Amino acid sequence: MKYVYLIGIGGIGMSALARYYKFRGYQVAGYDRTPSDLTFELEREGIDVHYQDLPEMLPADKNETLVIYTPAVPEDLAELVKAREEGYLLLKRSRTLGEIAKMHRCLAVAGTHGKTTTSTLIAHILTHSGEGCNAFLGGISRNYGTNLLTSENNTLVAEADEFDRSFLQLFPEIAVITAVDADHLDIYGDYAHVVEAFKAFASQVSGTLITKKGIPVGPEDTKARVLTYHYTDTSAHFHAINPHPDECGYFHYDLHTPDGVLEDFRVGTPGWVNAENSVAAAAVALCYGIDPEAVKAAIACFEGVKRRLEVHVNTPGLSYIDDYAHHPAELSSAISSMRDIFPGRKITAVFQPHLYTRTRDFAPEFAAALSKVDKLILLDIYPAREEPIPGVTSEMIFKDVTAPEKVLLKKEELMDYLSGEKLDVVATFGAGNIDRYIEPITGLAKSRLQVSPPREGGNV
């Protein structure tokens, strides 16, 4: 095989595969509907990307070509139809990752939220300690500027995605499950089937399974050794002792483990949610065999993941944070963490709902989470792979929000609206194309600053 062609190459998981095969010496190219910073980066790395559905762009030699596709692309896409009808070797993204993982010692992180930060931190611990690893990440690591890490070490760190039951392609030696919430009900139908899928994933773990204390997956679901973790629950095998933030919101704690207490951890990314993720990552690293002092040092210098509570402007008078949260539980955790970091300040949240089905299924939960901010700016639904559903609009969420202030806008109206607002802490949330507004909002915020230069970069 000489060629790898990716349909939907701009996705975070697909782009990591593109980089992997480029690193391995294959000729890599692909299609995506929309240009983005990520596709431009791929092009700069020597990967051909085009943005029109052109079947003739597939490599002519089908016997020497692997075509990888994401289920996010429509079934009637002409390039996908050609690959299927003309007999190209055609694999889903999840199957491809599963085949790669079979050749490695796999460490996997599953969960309806928390998995990207946790898996990125595990990969950072292994890399920073000198152990090294290969890693397919669900976000861009701020420490390394990429979603793919490579190493001579045969260990692979993978984010195990529950969408489309993708994680059932993985058979890890060590795994974490961070959360089992109702999500992707367009795929699963109901919560019972979500739980069933996570139990099936647990059954595929061969060595050690580390679960968030309280999730509906336990020893009865796997032959692996089961250990638990939690931020504060002292009945968990791994938990933080006396976690407390410093004046900048960075958490410090002692770590309780089955082998004793490790003292003086400091988390390099502020907020309690990052402290909880660090407990899970430390548990994996310690079970893997990384020296405790090396684990501690790596957690302290972890810079986080782009679009995970990522700060773009941070001053006492005006701050701007962006986050990928697109599920009620994620929003609730992010807003709670921001309250700890910015006590007493007015938080204005801009939220773009992602998917009609998710909006329909969780409208009351979204309203409850978003009611915890001081002002909500709610945008139209980003449809992604879906067609509109009659009667499903952002109004389903908006009507039940009890925040002191709220407004419903089209995204094209956002910048004009913000330009006329008095702002304190601004947060953008969503998994759609709201990230296109990061640069304009950052510019607006900086133009208003009448204080000392902002502290930029990093995560909160």
* CA–CA distance, 93 with 161 (Å, rounded to integer): 11
pLDDT tens per residue, range 299-331: 999 999 988 888 888 888 899 999 999 999 899
Rounded Cα distance between 241 and 102, Å, is 37
pLDDT digits (tens, 9 = 90+) for 249-295: 789 999 999 999 999 999 999 888 899 999 999 999 999 999 999 99
Side-chain-side CA neighbours of 244 within 13 Å: the count stands at 4
The single-letter DSSP state of residue 187 is H
Beta partners for 92? 69
Evaluate if pTM is beyond 0.75. yes
Q: What ranges make up the beta strands (E) of 55-115?
A: 65-69, 89-92, 105-110
Domains and CATH numbers, the chain: 3-94 (3.40.50.720), 104-300 (3.40.1190.10), 310-448 (3.90.190.20)
3-class secondary structure, 279: helix
Residue 453, pLDDT > 80, answer no
For residues 380 and 410, the answer to whether their CB atoms sit within 8 Å is yes
Confidence of residue 341 (pLDDT cuts 50, 70, 90): confident
**Distance of alpha carbon 301 from alpha carbon 323, whole angstroms:** 20
The closest alpha carbon to 409, from 399, 394, 422, belongs to 394
The answer to which of 272-276, 298-302, 379-383, 454-458 has the lowest mean pLDDT is 454-458
Q: Which residues pair with 253 in a beta bridge?
A: 265
DSSP 3-state helix, strand, coil percentages of the chain (rounded to 5)?
Answer: 35, 25, 40
d(CA 121, CA 269): 11
Q: Record the tokens describing residue 38, joined without a space.
A: 């990520």
Q: Which two tokens stand for residue 178?
A: 């961070």
